[in-house]
A and B are shown apart, each in its own frame.
Chain A
Amino acid sequence: MKRALLCLFSLLLMATANVQLHAQQSSLDQIEKSIPPLPAFHPQQPKRIELPNGMVIFLQEDHELPLIDGIARIRGGSRRVPAAKEGLADIYGEVWRTGGTKTRTGDQLDDYLEQRAAKVETGAGIDSTTISWSCLKDNFEDVFQVFEDLLRTPEFRADKIVIAQKELYDSISRRNDDPGQIAGREAAKLAYGDNSPYARVAEYSTVAAVTRDDLTAWHRTYVQPNNIILGVVGDFDSAKMEARLRQAFGSWAKGPTAKAPDVKLDPAKPGYYVVDKTDVNQSNIQMVALGTTRRDPNYYAISVFNEAFGGGFSSRLFSDIRTTKGLAYAVGGGIGTSWDHPGMLRMIVMTKSKSTVESINALDDELTGLAKRPITDDEIQRAKDSILNSFIFRFDSPAKVLREKMAYEFYGYPLDFLEKYQKGIESVTKEDVARVAAKYIHRDQMAVLVVGHTSEFDKPISSLGPVKNLDIAIPPPPKGLLPEGTGQQ
């Protein structure tokens, strides 16, 4: 269910400060110098259990509140969906839950769970699907039973497939309403390629092509114990919980292992790409290229570079383009790193139509200026301090520790990745930062996207170089799919 609007209302009604000294008086200096060492903190680690069928379980006790939450992450996500059925994973992620189980409809589950103020939810991401629960501990048995039934015997009832498809048609019809959404989507296409599953979007026809058989086949293929990592956090006794989970899943036979997906990337040619949107007075400018993964040995230097160049109040982009030039509220960016595929290298600035080219030039100066004006010792020190002093916030709750460990397990990273990260950051040098900037930031190899009201720009984008106008018109629905006269735009 969408709760986006409530959220959007509150976002639109409030306004915030952020997207994001030599003469310091002695009292500040004194206080900073007398900061005591942080007390030793050894966060509780979850217990890792591997069942003979390959299912991996993490148990993390947390007795603060009378709650028990769990999430299973399952290999196989939208990047494995064939292009002709784009949207399948979204439909699967919804109907898995709304379609009910063999014995109970989704509506019956709704009543049953809401009476207990509990949730069981399913969803799909780019590389995995998830099923989770959240309940008061005294309802654990009731709610876990629903979780188990949905995991093992979902029914994907047809009436709920229709509703999920209609919701997707709705989101397709609305996808050009907000300039930020257009920019995000088109930027990903430029970075990864129009047809890359990291950028592709569903169309009326691809959603209409999804059948119940597709959903059941998907479930059969991927929901196998050896593809599942289950994490449980909350007010329980680990020994008892382990016994309960072994009883539930121990006899589940191992299935075929999900193969690594075959994903082709086809970044757009460098140049300028323009979407004309006549109902806005601000341009959304994004410069993109492919980034890298967190396995990259340069990851630590990249983290420091990103912090210094485009992250937060202290960064160069914030200081130069926002504070000094007053060109933008939203400005920032960095070299993106994903777990198992290249992230996006992306620089964003949002500025009034009249300063569009001026802002592109300002961003250009920052990027091409890196060679002449490398990140300084001061900037590097501040970035490292910022990462290292706030390091504790990566594991300041049992649930966060659990999430980190589950991610390492899922992507095959060493379980001590976080400790390695801390050491890695500490050892980054000025030369490392200059080297990664030179290696990844090539302004002439980036695609520049501008979504804005082109006739109001300060200068035509063509004054900067060849321009390709992007056609974002939504392909009309197949005849008869929707009532007459809909799906326009």
Chain B
Amino acid sequence: MKSRKLATILFCFVFYSLALSQDLTSFEKRTTVKTLPNGLTVIICERPEAPVFSFYTHVDAGSVQDPMGKTGLAHMFEHMAFKGTDTIGTRDYKDEKVALDKVETAYAAYIAERDKPVGRDEQKFKQLEQAWKDDIAAADKYSAPYNNEFGKIVESEGGEGMNAYTNLDETAYHYSFPVNRLELWAYLESERFLHPVMRQFYKERNVVIEERRMRTDSNPIGRLLEQFTEEAFAAHPYHRPTIGWMSDLNSFSATDAQNFFDKYYVPSNMVVTVVGDLKASDAMPIIEKYFSRIPARPKPDERTTTEPPQNSERRVVLQEQSQPLYLEGYHRPDYRSPDDQVYDAIADLMSDGRTSRLYRALVRDKQIASDSAGFSGLPGNKYPHLFAFYAFPLPGHTTKEVADAIHVEIDRLKKEDITDAELTMIKTRAKANLIRSLGSNAGLASELGLFQARYGDWRELFRSVDRIEKVTKADIRRVANETFVPENRTVGIIEFSGPPPRAAAAAQGGGR
């Protein structure tokens, strides 16, 4: 039995190695990278499955780059990138520009009065607020009839899955098109970053504030995560919420968003990846024609404060009307660390599937949690970040019980070598997961672009799996001992504080 198992494992190993090198060879043949004279990187990956393509535009700036006092600005600009350009979404840009400039002047006067520490003149404040709102109404006349024109063009031309995201590390824009719209796409996507217009900014700011209410304020886990990351990072901007603090959202201006764009949306900070039924020889000249129009600008300085070593445990405990949750995180180095794949291996071992140690210990055997796992990347991974563990205690069990059980599993990692079977399983799975990730245009565009942006070479997507192959049992013990120590730990807990007050005030559906 044992030898048969071993044979299977060896067989798998040989097979996967072959499959992977074939994959990389196949991708080498159909992937073209070009850095345009303005510094923008273009990747084209030919995947002639169906006459469609997907793209991802990666901008190597996220909310870590938000200026002090203006958290949420990177994400706010992302929303503005859907507001059109000087030719899309306006009745007459020349006049609209004048009106938008007036809005900015009025806004600056309004918040100067609003934010006076002492001696605010209430009447003047009201007048300035009204003047600002009037200027907004005047500017809107140019754009209101063309609301969301950019998105309307994309959607009516058959764009699929149009969206974007901002996180602490980066911002990305994406959708898919039928392949005959390549030139239209190249035009629209380059135009978006050539001539963005900060129109309807203050209404969109309200939309973003609603997004904050939905994701963070009105969700107990959202509340915990915000407080938890804020606690875990004292110096590095990872302590910020991507969505932004409420007072910052109510303060920053369209001018701030334009400045953010000018500084960070420079071609040398962007990777545009296109995957689909395209020939690089046909597509590259079209992409180059449109994206070369974006003027070269200096690459921004993105150095940040280094988080100093943590020297005592930190705790955040929220008393909530909701059921308990336990979360803890340990500082670890950034994605470029030679130990990055060791952390990947630990995450896989602890979390992946029903053979994972945390599932088996907390869910199956002790039966104290409904779910438990450990993972890297909280709250990002471009900079030193956290390896986190969490568990949802079952009814009748406490956050202390699940924390203790997680610590037992962490101690095992530190004191005992993992088994041969476990190590093989981790490596086999890493390769299979890579293969499974190669089967969609959108997924490939995202991955190739991200690896290109992070490492300067998309091939690292494949090499990262080779590096997992080199991880040893000793590596796992060493990294666990270095990382998972109490003084390096931040704990986040939701405790159930009792049921909500019964619905007395709500007798008539509330309100006053």
Residues of A within 8 A of B (CB): 1-6, 8-9, 11-18, 20-25, 27-28, 31-32, 34-39, 41, 43, 64-67, 98, 106-107, 110-111, 114-119, 134, 136, 138-139, 162-163, 166-167, 169-171, 173-174, 176-180, 272, 274, 276-282, 312-314, 318-319, 322-330, 350-352, 356-357, 381-382, 385-386, 388-393, 395-397, 450, 452-463, 467, 469, 471, 473, 477, 482-489
B165→A326 contact, CB < 8 A: no
Partner of B214, one of A13, A66, A350, A388: A350
Residues of chain B lying within 8 A (CB to CB) of residue A357: 511
22 contacts between A and B (CB under 8 A): A15-B165, A15-B242, A27-B187, A136-B435, A139-B12, A178-B219, A178-B220, A180-B219, A276-B500, A281-B213, A282-B210, A351-B210, A356-B511, A385-B157, A389-B178, A390-B159, A392-B178, A393-B158, A397-B50, A397-B440, A452-B510, A489-B496
Asked if residues A23 and B90 are in contact (CB atoms below 8 Å), the reply is yes
For B206, give its contact among A4, A278, A326, A469 (CB under 8 Å). A326
Closest 9 CB pairs of A and B: A454-B510, A389-B158, A461-B509, A313-B151, A483-B396, A117-B432, A457-B511, A326-B206, A177-B322
**By the criterion CB–CB under 8 Å, are B148 and A454 in contact?**
no
Residue of A nearest to B166 (CB): A15
Partner of B158 from the list A17, A386, A395 (CB cut-off 8 Å) is A386
Other 8 A-B pairs with CB < 8 A, given A115-B424, A117-B433: A2-B371, A13-B167, A107-B364, A114-B352, A280-B217, A314-B152, A454-B510, A489-B499
Task: Provide the bound-state CA to CA distance between A226 and B505, in Å.
Answer: 56
Q: B1 contacts the other chain (Cβ, under 8 Å)?
A: no
User: Closest Cβ of chain B: how far from A112's Cβ, in Å?
Assistant: 10
Given A31-B184, A138-B15, A174-B322: A312 and B155 interface contact (C-beta under 8 Å) = yes
A329 and B82 alpha carbons, distance in the complex (Å): 14
Known A-B contacts A38-B180, A114-B353, A177-B322; A461 and B501 likewise in contact (beta carbons under 8 Å): no
Query: Hey, which chain A residues are within 8 Å of B367, CB to CB?
Result: 162-163, 166
**Residues of B bordering A, CB below 8 Å:** 5, 8-9, 11-12, 15-16, 19, 49-52, 75, 78-79, 81-82, 87-93, 144, 146-149, 151-160, 162-168, 176, 178-181, 183-184, 187-188, 200, 202-211, 213-222, 225, 242-243, 320-323, 352-355, 359, 363-364, 367, 370-371, 373, 375, 378-380, 390, 392, 394-397, 421, 424-425, 428-429, 431-433, 435-436, 438-440, 496, 498-501, 503, 505-512
A163 and B364 form a contact (CB under 8 A): yes
Nearest chain-B residue to A139 (Cβ)?
Answer: B12
Smallest Cβ-Cβ distance to A32: which chain B residue: B184
Q: Could you tell me if A281 and B218 are in contact, using CB atoms closer than 8 angstroms?
A: yes
In the assembled complex, the Cα of A310 lies from the Cα of B292 at a distance in Å of 37
Q: Is the CB of A67 within 8 A of B435?
A: yes
On chain A, the residues within 8 Å of B9 by CB distance are: 115
**Closest residue of chain B to A487, judged by CB?**
B395
A1 and B187 form a contact (CB under 8 A): no
- Shortest Cβ distance from A452 into chain B, in angstroms? 8
Q: Are A454 and B511 in contact (CB under 8 A)?
A: yes
Chain A contacts for B397, CB-based, 8 A: 483
Q: Are B214 and A16 in contact (CB under 8 A)?
A: no
Also in contact, A482 and B505, with CB within 8 A (given A23-B92, A23-B93, A117-B428): no
A15 in complex: contacting residue of B159, B211, B425, B511, CB < 8 Å: B211
Known contacts: A461-B509, A461-B510. The answer to whether A386 contacts B155 by CB under 8 A is: yes
Return the chain B residue nearest A459 by Cβ. B511
Q: Are B509 and A323 in contact (CB under 8 A)?
A: no
Tell me, rounded to whole Å, the shortest Cβ–Cβ distance linking B265 to chain A: 15
CA A322 to CA B218, docked complex, whole Å: 19
Taking the nearest CB of chain A, how far is it from the CB of B416, in angstroms? 18
Residues in chain B near residue A41, CB distance under 8 A? 50-51
Identify A21's interface contact among B89, B216, B506, B508, CB under 8 A.
B89
What is the chain B residue whose CB lies nearest that of A5?
B390
Q: How far is the CA of A116 from the CA of B428 in the complex (A)?
A: 7
Cβ contact of B373, chosen from A6, A107, A460, cutoff 8 A? A6
On whether A35 and B214 interact (CB within 8 A), knowing A170-B395, A397-B50, A461-B509, the answer reads no
Determine if B12 and A116 form an interchain contact, defined as CB atoms under 8 angstroms apart.
Answer: yes
CA distance A136 to B11 in the complex (A): 13
Query: Are B323 and A276 in contact (CB-based, < 8 A)?
Result: no
What residues on A are CB-neighbors of B179 within 8 Å? 38-39
Partner of A2, one of B151, B370, B500: B370
Known contacts A163-B363, A488-B499; A25 and B87 CB within 8 A of each other? yes
Whole-angstrom distance between the Cβ of A334 and the nearest chain B Cβ: 15
Does A282 lie within 8 Å of B217, measured CB to CB?
yes
Query: Quick check: A65 and B439 within 8 Å, CB to CB?
Result: yes
Whether A352 touches B395, Cβ cut-off 8 Å, given contacts A274-B509, A460-B512, is no
The answer on a CB contact under 8 Å between B243 and A15 is yes
| Nearest CB of B to A375, in Å | 15
Cβ–Cβ contact B162 & A326, under 8 A? no
Which residue of chain B is the closest to A484 with respect to CB atoms?
A: B396
**CB–CB A276/B151 < 8 A:** no
Say whether B395 contacts A169, CB under 8 Å: yes
A117 and B429 contact, Cβ closer than 8 Å, known pairs A5-B373, A357-B511 = yes
Q: Give the nearest-CB partner of B437 in chain A.
A: A65
Which A residue's beta carbon lies closest to that of B320? A279
Contact A43 B50 (CB under 8 A): yes
When the two chains form the complex, which single residue of A3, A162, A174, A327 contacts B210, counting CB atoms closer than 8 Å?
A327
- A115–B428 contact, CB under 8 A? yes
Cα of A171 to Cα of B395 in the assembled complex, Å? 9
Q: A17-B79, A17-B163 are in contact. Are A328 and B218 (CB under 8 A)?
A: no
A150 to B148, CA, bound (A): 51
B317 smallest CB distance to A (angstroms): 16
Which listed residue (A24, A461, A488) contacts B87, Cβ 8 A? A24
Q: Give A312 to B159 CA distance when docked, in angstroms.
A: 11
Q: Least Cβ distance of A244 to chain B in Å?
A: 20
Task: Known contacts A382-B152, A488-B498; decide if A28 and B87 are in contact (CB<8 Å).
Answer: yes
Per the bound structure, the CA–CA distance linking A274 and B507 in Å amounts to: 9
Please name all residues of chain A whose beta carbon is closer than 8 Å to the beta carbon of B203 when the two chains form the complex.
Answer: 323-326
A138 to chain B, nearest CB (A): 5
Given A179-B218, A457-B510: A482 and B395 within 8 A (CB)?
Answer: yes
Least distance between A21 CB and chain B CB atoms (Å): 5
Inter-chain CA distance A177–B323, complex, in Å, is: 7
Q: Which residue of A lies closest to B47 (CB)?
A: A64
Shortest CB–CB separation between residue A28 and chain B, in angstroms?
7
Contacts A15-B211, A179-B218, A282-B214; is A38 near B51 (CB within 8 Å)?
yes
The interface residues of chain B lying within 8 Å CB-to-CB of A162 are: 367
**Interfacial chain B residues near A14, Cβ < 8 Å:** 165-167, 242
Question: Given that A3-B373, A330-B214, A386-B158 are known contacts, is A115 also in contact with B395, CB under 8 Å in the complex?
Answer: no
